[in-house]
Amino acid sequence: MPRSYYKGQALGKAPPCAICAGPGEGGRAELDLGYGVRVWLCEAHRSRTFLTRRSGRDLVVSLMYVWQAAGCMTRQRHLALDRHVAAVRRRAAVRASPGSYAWPELRREVERRAGAGMDAEAICAEVLSLQPGRRVRLPSQRTVERWIAERRWLERD
């Protein structure tokens, strides 16, 4: 027998999750997507993990299908979904660079000193003792040694 809200699960006072079409997992609350678009989602579908999964496309495609099935896919909803994907991509572009890419200036300084003939041990000792009070995590000694061993300053003119 097809499911119905008439004698289905008790939803309480909150509307059902737009994606689950039911109570979902956890409490339900309204999510503002901008452009005047708001949607009720369960805790699982409001989680940061779901909202950002596959660059935000999981949420976008799920809501797009729900709204298309209901015949209410409007220009405002399209704009809100586009905005969501753009925001997730922008956030991904800003996040910290991994590994040695996080310290480009420091790497150039290490390479400059190594290119000038400074001893590798002295470079490591100086670089790794820089500003001990800062909350920035410095590269490991192995990373600094690798920068020196790669000898990239020889490739430059």
Mean pLDDT to the nearest integer, 96-125 = 79
Give the rounded percent of residues in the chain with a pLDDT score beyond 90: 20
Mean pLDDT to the nearest integer, 81-89 = 87
pTM above 0.85, yes or no: no
pLDDT of 134 reads 57
The region of weakest confidence among 52-66, 71-85, 92-106 is 92-106
Give the rounded percent of residues in the chain with a pLDDT score beyond 70: 80
Q: What is the overall mean pLDDT for the chain?
A: 81
Question: Can you tell me whether residue 79 is helix, strand or coil?
Answer: helix
**Beta strands 37-42 and 28-34, pairing class:** antiparallel
Q: How many CA atoms does the CB half-sphere of 37 hold within 13 Å? A: 22
Pick the closest to residue 103 from 54, 60, 45, 147 (CA basis). Answer: 147
pLDDT of 131 reads 59
Q: Which residue has the tokens 């300053």?
A: 153
Mean pLDDT to the nearest integer, 53-63 = 90
**Rounded-to-integer distance, Cα 6 and Cα 47, Å:** 29
Who has greater pLDDT, 55 or 77?
A: 77
